[in-house]
Amino acid sequence: MDLGIGGKKALVCASSRGLGRGCAEALAAEGVNLVMNARSEGPLMDAANAIADLYGVTVTPVAADITSEEGRAKVLAEATDVDILVNNAGGPPPGMWHDWDREDFIRALDANMLTPIALMKALLPGMIEKGWGRVVNITSQSVKSPIAQLGLSNSARAGLTGYVAGTSRQVAPMGVVINNLLPGIHATDRAVSLDTGVAEAQGITMEEAKKQRAATIPTRRYGTAEEFGAACAFLCSDKAGFIIGQNISLDGGSFNATI
Ligand code: NAD
Helical axes 69-79 vs 115-130, angle rounded to 10°: 20
Question: CA dist 214 to 43, 99, 138, 209, 220, Å?
Answer: 29, 29, 22, 9, 5
Rounded Cα gap, residues 251 and 242, in angstroms: 23
Indicate the average pLDDT of the chain: 97
Q: What structural domains does the chain harbor?
A: 9-184+224-250 (3.40.50.720), 185-222 (no CATH)
Q: Measured in angstroms, how far is the CA atom of residue 188 from the centroid of ligand 1?
A: 9
State if residue 90 touches ligand 1 by the CB under 6 angstroms criterion. yes
Please give the full DSSP string across 151-211, using - where no structure is assigned.
HHHHHHHHHHHHHHHHHHHHHGGGTEEEEEEEE-SBSSHHHHHHHHHHHHHHT--HHHHHH
Rounded Cα gap, residues 221 and 218, in angstroms: 8
Q: What is the pLDDT of residues 73-111, one digit of tens each?
A: 999 999 989 999 999 999 999 999 999 999 999 999 999
Question: CA dist 99 to 109, 116, 143, 150, 197, Å?
Answer: 16, 25, 20, 11, 19
State if residue 67 touches ligand 1 by the CB under 6 angstroms criterion. yes
Q: Torsion angle of alpha carbons 28, 115, 106, 179, nearest 10°? A: -70
* Minimum-distance ligand 1 atom for the alpha carbon of 91: 34
Confidence at residue 101, expressed as pLDDT on a 0 to 100 scale = 97
State if residue 20 touches ligand 1 by the CB under 6 angstroms criterion. yes
State if residue 65 touches ligand 1 by the CB under 6 angstroms criterion. yes
State if residue 249 touches ligand 1 by the CB under 6 angstroms criterion. no
Question: CA dist 86 to 13, 27, 164, 259, Å?
Answer: 6, 10, 13, 26
Confidence at residue 143, expressed as pLDDT on a 0 to 100 scale = 96
Q: What is the pLDDT of residues 12-56, one digit of tens each?
A: 999 999 999 999 999 999 999 999 999 999 999 999 999 999 999
Beta bridge partners of residue 170, listed in sequence order: none
133-138 and 84-87: which strand pairing? parallel
Q: What is the pLDDT of residues 215-256, one digit of tens each?
A: 999 999 999 999 999 999 999 999 999 999 999 999 999 999
Q: How long is the chain? A: 259
Confidence at residue 194, expressed as pLDDT on a 0 to 100 scale = 87
Q: Nearest 5 degrees, angle CA 104-CA 106-CA 107?
A: 65
DSSP 3-state of 9: strand
Rounded Cα gap, residues 85 and 130, in angstroms: 14
State if residue 188 touches ligand 1 by the CB under 6 angstroms criterion. yes
- The 3-state DSSP composition of the chain as helix, strand, coil percent (nearest 5) reads 50, 15, 35
Q: Nearest 5 degrees, angle CA 102-CA 93-CA 100?
A: 25
